[in-house]
Chains A and B, each alone.
Chain A
Amino acid sequence: MRYTVILNGCASNFISQAEEINGFLSDHGTASIKGNTIIFYCEDEKKEALIANAPTACLQLVKVSRYQPENVLEILKQHALTQDTDLYLFPSDFAGSELCVRFAYRMVGSSLVGVNGMEIGEEKLICRKAVYSNHMQGEFVLRQKPYCISIAKGCAENKPAPDMLRRVISEVDMTQVSEDSFVKSYEFAAEVSPSGLEHVGVLMVAGRGVKKQEKAERLEEIAGALGAALGVSRPVAMNGWVPMNRLIGVSGVMAKPELCITAGVSGAAALFAGIEKSKYIIAINTDERASIVKSSDVAIIDDYEKVLEELLKIVKASE
């Protein structure tokens, strides 16, 4: 069995992708298996940092004019035809989940997105992933090589790349590959203020019980005064009251704060996935039967606004 990690070095989140994959590899005992990494990149000045953070000792660098999935897929296919890799590992970001499925189709292999566990078997790969919106854990058997999997966001602790000698076994310039003739023009806007919610110590989450924009704004003030950052559930994000990068859950941020306070959150499993790694969860909800109550460490059954306003007074008085 040989594996290849595919990383997008054009993205600003490269180091976190690499650390996530490295954490996943460590958790799954792949040290004895031969592996290499392919990194797509577009800026020469970042090359050294990309190499230093690669999760394997062997790596291949591919220079592209920009990250464009159609181009990258074409290059990957050309590469794969000359290699003997059984397993392709992709990170959990947008690019990883897309490339995993499309590449597997082109290679007539099998793919699975959002994998949180795997076992390498004789002529098969057993993978686990959350299904039914995080209510159930499914176990899947992949039988058709190459196996292509993208890992689930937050399923492994980010682990810095090991300190080892790295060998760039090939370096190619593919800036001339152009499979994107369907794009007439494009404009990239970098995220102005990344939410950083993945790394906060205290997180407050606003749920469906927050019914107006003003209430979301007030909650943000209270969160700030308590030293917390504000995240939101899908219904709040869908209303456009806060930037979408504050969305918590399967399709948003997977946070792991020391302390999480939920306000008006019912506890939908898709959202809960984004806070289940919290060390301690405090829920405030008017409905005692809401699933968040059983999923919390401690809960208050009451109007979140009244409780939090009182809590704010108490915290301020104690300062």
Chain B
Amino acid sequence: MKMMVCFKAVPDLEMLSEEDWAADSNLKVDLSFVRNILNCFDESALEMALKLSDVSEGFDVLLNLTAFTIGDQKSDTYLKTLYALRFKKAVRIESNEDLRFFPDVTATVISQYVREINHQDVIVLGRQSGEGDNGKTPLLVAEMLEWPCITQVIRIEPDTEGSLKVTNMVDGGTLTQTITTPCVLSVGNAPNSYLRVPTLKDKMKYGKTPIEVLDIQQFNIQALLDDCRHGCELKGLEKISHKRQGIIIEGETPREKARILYDSYLKERLEKL
């Protein structure tokens, strides 16, 4: 079974202070000084694929994993780590384009890659990522490929070479389905899915496997970008202020502070409730 996991390296937005949140005339926020991290839902997707790989052999299923990302060279660190974690292939679509609010373009590149270059049985993606917060890419990939899609996935288990057992959160509970491939899986809040760390030995042995790099221009994205702008376009960006009074209780000991908190701020409120 061929499974491709799509991920995105995103800026760690929590490093920014309140004052850093300002958009320029092109509606961009300067994040050049911020470190990159794996988008949390994509991290879960990668780890879930590895867990599936761990147990697939017992089901006589051979899982062939590809890691896929769109971005610049900064993403190569993650791709090398994924090679060390035994992904068979790591692909990066070289791009400096501003795709923050163009999930349609991202989805087109992914679906075109799978349709024309590297056929897959399953595509796994995080449900959304924290710049655009579009929440659309996995759904659009499924629509473009005309594949079924399972959203809010929290567990993937092996079944047969052509099927998987997938558990997802639905309104009011969880659904466990055995489904045939091909399909798109959109990963939601999956517990215990932090990405594992490769061994030093595997880093040395597999970490230098060449990354397949393709240029995004070969996907004809300029025309796509124009089309998408016509459909839905960002016109303004403003900081959301979360500021409140922020009174700090002074005191020598935790007991003293707890006492002031209770007497001055808590007692009356608790009584009213």
Give chain A's interface residues, CB within 8 Å of chain B.
8, 11-13, 67, 69-70, 93-95, 97-98, 101-102, 105-106, 109-114, 126, 129-144, 180, 182-191, 201-202, 226-227, 234, 237-240, 244, 247, 250-252, 258-259, 266-270, 272, 276, 280-282, 288, 291, 293-303, 306-311, 314-315, 318
Contact = CB atoms under 8 A, between A and B. Distances in A.
Q: Is the interface of B mostly helix, strand, loop or mixed?
A: mixed
A125 B194 CA distance: 39
Interface stretch (B51-59, B74-82, B252-260): B252-260
A144 B179 CA distance: 34
Interface stretch (B62-70, B143-151, B196-204): B143-151
Given A136-B23, A299-B247, A269 B258 contact: no
Q: Is the interface of A mostly helix, strand, loop or mixed?
A: mixed
A185 B163 CA distance: 11
Contacts of B235: 126, 139-141
Nearest to A299: B248
The 4 closest A-B pairs by CB, nearest first: A139-B236, A306-B254, A310-B258, A12-B172
Interface of B: 13-14, 16-18, 21, 23, 29, 40, 101, 127, 130-136, 139-140, 142-144, 148-149, 151-152, 154, 163, 169-180, 183, 188-189, 191-194, 230-240, 242-249, 251, 254-255, 257-259, 261-262, 265-267, 269-270, 272-273
Q: Pick the most buried of B134, B171, B175: most chain A CB atoms within 10 A of its CB.
A: B171
A145 to B, nearest CB: 10
A267 B174 CA distance: 29
Contact of A182 (B148, B169, B176, B240): B148
A101 B136 CA distance: 6
B246 A190 contact: no
Given A113-B134, A240-B192, A288-B248, A185 B234 contact: no
B231 A142 contact: yes
A105 B138 CA distance: 12
Contacts of B130: 132-133, 270
B192 A296 contact: no
Contacts of B270: 202, 226-227, 259, 315
A239 B193 CA distance: 8
Nearest to A250: B133
Given A234-B40, A299-B249, A143 B135 contact: no
17 contacts: A11-B172, A67-B170, A101-B143, A105-B144, A111-B232, A133-B13, A136-B23, A139-B235, A139-B237, A144-B232, A185-B178, A186-B177, A244-B189, A296-B246, A300-B248, A310-B254, A310-B255
